[in-house]
Amino acid sequence: MNLVDKLAELAQSIDPALQLSYNKHYIGFWLNGRAYNFVLMRPRRSVMILELKIPEEEIKNIIKEVLGEDSEVDIMEYDARWRRSRIRLTADDLNKNQELLIQLFRKAFEFRKNS
């Protein structure tokens, strides 16, 4: 199973009605026939870039709570224009940090719902 399918399963554990939406530059989600991009996935050759609709401070706090100070998660620069936190993810990272990703997806889902 590839990375996109595994991440889609994690997202669908939050809301089973979520469907993948394949676009030219990213993979997003649909909910009830509308775009619901709380997480964007940008596949690259060896990594997946996740863009989560979470404020910068919150994502760092969640990662620190779950993994502690010495986490190996590759947090990229915050995208201030679109207000998205970005994470570089490999297949190994996905297997090691599934619980963290579920919490991040839940937080992004709630944040998107409330905004």
> Across the chain, what does the average pLDDT equal?
92
Q: What is d(CA 90, CA 43) in angstroms, rounded to the nearest whole number?
A: 10
Which of the residues in the chain have pLDDT under 50?
none
CATH fold of the domain at 3-114: Aspartate Aminotransferase, domain 1 (3.90.1150)
- Nearest in space to 53 (alpha carbons), one of 68, 71, 35, 73: 35
Condensed to tens digits (0 to 9), the pLDDT of residues 81-100 reads 999 999 999 999 999 999 99
Question: With contact defined as beta carbons under 8 Å apart, do 99 and 66 qualify?
Answer: yes
Q: What is d(CA 99, CA 44) in angstroms, rounded to the nearest whole number?
A: 23
Write down the domain spans for the chain. Answer: 3-114
Burial of 108 (0-12, 13-18, 19+ CB in 10 A): buried
- Nearest in space to 89 (alpha carbons), one of 39, 56, 44: 44
Question: With contact defined as beta carbons under 8 Å apart, do 14 and 47 qualify?
Answer: no
pLDDT at 1: 53
Q: What is d(CA 81, CA 108) in angstroms, rounded to the nearest whole number?
A: 17
